[in-house]
Amino acid sequence: MAPATLQGAERTEASPAMEDPGARTTEQWSPTPEELASLRTTVARLKAAYPEVDAGTVEATVRAAYDSFRQARVRKYVPILAERRSRKSLAAAVGSAPDVVGDAR
């Protein structure tokens, strides 16, 4: 860009952001019915995989993982990503390697 095209343009930190109709506006994560069912399935699976961890801790870990993706535009992969993040956190809490289901590496 030529310097002349930027003359007179004001750059401020407080410029209004463009509204995104797909963005979630709430701070708190509110799951869709499909995500809620997936969350329950994930919690049940992780309770079985980590029986030494308190059930409340497993639920909190899964909710935190889902919450970390609350602004994701593509929601299709959130359950998979949240479960992987939860497994990694729970494995670190019990001091073992993460048990990754379905990872054929």
Where in the sequence is the domain holding 77, given as residue range(s)? Answer: 29-94
Give the CATH number of the domain where residue 88 resides: 1.10.8
pLDDT confidence tier of residue 15, bands split at 50, 70 and 90: very low
Residue 84 lies in a domain: yes
DSSP 22-58: TS---SS----HHHHHHHHHHHHHHHHH-TTS-HHHH
Residue 15 lies in a domain: no
What confidence tens digit (pLDDT) does each residue in 17-63 have?
A: 445 445 544 555 577 888 889 999 999 999 999 999 999 999 999 99
Residue 47 lies in a domain: yes
Residue 102 lies in a domain: no
Residue 14 lies in a domain: no
Residue 8 lies in a domain: no
**Distance (Å, rounded) from C-alpha 62 to C-alpha 46?**
9
At 28 the pLDDT is: 59
At 16 the pLDDT is: 45
What is the count of structural domains for the chain?
A: 1
Residue 50 lies in a domain: yes
